[in-house]
């Protein structure tokens, strides 16, 4: 009876001390290009080994090979249509909102490993600029060529994400979450993004 009561008491204390968490996240994002990602995440404990979470973030550039190839093709055409030196830049930022579940492995170590998975929506924006003799000529491009949706426009699409990490209770309620996440964005041209980084937050 005493052992059972102690077990229940310990579980109750754990639940009270770990009802959830909130953290800011900074990551390196890599795939076809390398950039930075940042955002925030909050989670709530539904049972000792399971949490539900919601997150949002912004990735600086997720440009695909197809977008770069389309920009290069247009730059080549511009070189044939006027005498100036043509160059270009390609950027495709993405903003996402996602929710899912986090499974926490029950281990004796102070480090708490987990795996997670979820889904959400990502909004991507094609930001391609063309330069003639070093001057931004994006506004005058239509007089030479017509730009299509392969190099312009915004798009929102389903995003699937999964990964894992380890949480370190650094000090009192402060936590440090070291993790890796893989995301697939189902845009017209599918986009894959790897994110590795750290979250710093508090548990409550």
Domain tally, the chain: 1
Q: Which of 199, 115, 118, 124 is nearest to 161 (CA)?
A: 118
Q: How far apart are CA 54 and CA 46, in angstroms?
A: 14
- 3-class SS of residue 188: coil
Distance of CA 18 to the CA centre of its chain: 25
Q: In this structure, is residue 165 part of a structural domain? A: yes
CATH number for the domain including 27?
2.40.160.20
Print pLDDT tens along the chain (204 aa): 434 434 444 444 444 458 999 999 999 999 889 999 999 999 999 999 999 999 999 999 999 999 999 999 999 988 888 888 999 999 999 999 999 999 999 999 999 999 999 999 999 999 999 999 989 887 888 888 888 888 999 999 999 999 999 999 999 999 999 999 999 999 999 999 999 999 999 999
Domain extent, residue 47, equals 19-203
pLDDT at 17: 58
Please check whether residue 42 lies inside any domain of the structure: yes
Look at residue 2 in the predicted model and tell me its pLDDT: 37
Distance of alpha carbon 64 from alpha carbon 13, whole angstroms: 49
Rounded Cα gap, residues 42 and 40, in angstroms: 7
Q: Please give the helix or strand (H or E) that residue 65 lies within, else none.
A: helix 65-81
Q: Where are the beta strands (DSSP E) in 105-151?
A: 112-132, 135-136
């Amino acid at each position: 009876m005493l052992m059972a009561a102690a077990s229940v008491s310990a579980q109750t204390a754990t639940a009270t001390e770990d009802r959830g968490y909130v953290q800011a996240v900074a990551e390196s994002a890599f795939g076809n290009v390398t950039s930075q990602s940042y955002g925030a995440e909050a989670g709530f404990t539904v049972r000792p080994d399971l949490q539900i979470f919601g997150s949002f973030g912004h990735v600086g550039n997720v440009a695909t090979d197809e977008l770069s190839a389309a920009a290069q093709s247009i730059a080549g055409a511009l070189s044939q249509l006027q005498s100036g030196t043509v160059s270009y830049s390609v950027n495709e930022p993405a903003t996402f909102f996602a929710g899912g579940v986090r499974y926490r492995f029950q281990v004796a170590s102070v480090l708490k490993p987990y795996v997670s998975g979820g889904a959400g929506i990502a909004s991507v924006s094609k930001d391609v600029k063309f330069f003639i003799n070093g001057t931004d000529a994006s506004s005058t491009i239509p007089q030479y060529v017509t730009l299509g949706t392969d190099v312009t426009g915004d798009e929102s699409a389903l995003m699937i994400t999964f990964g894992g990490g380890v949480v370190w209770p650094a000090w009192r309620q402060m936590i440090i979450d070291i993790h890796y996440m893989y995301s697939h964005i189902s845009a017209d041209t599918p986009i894959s993004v790897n994110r590795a980084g750290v979250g710093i937050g508090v548990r409550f």
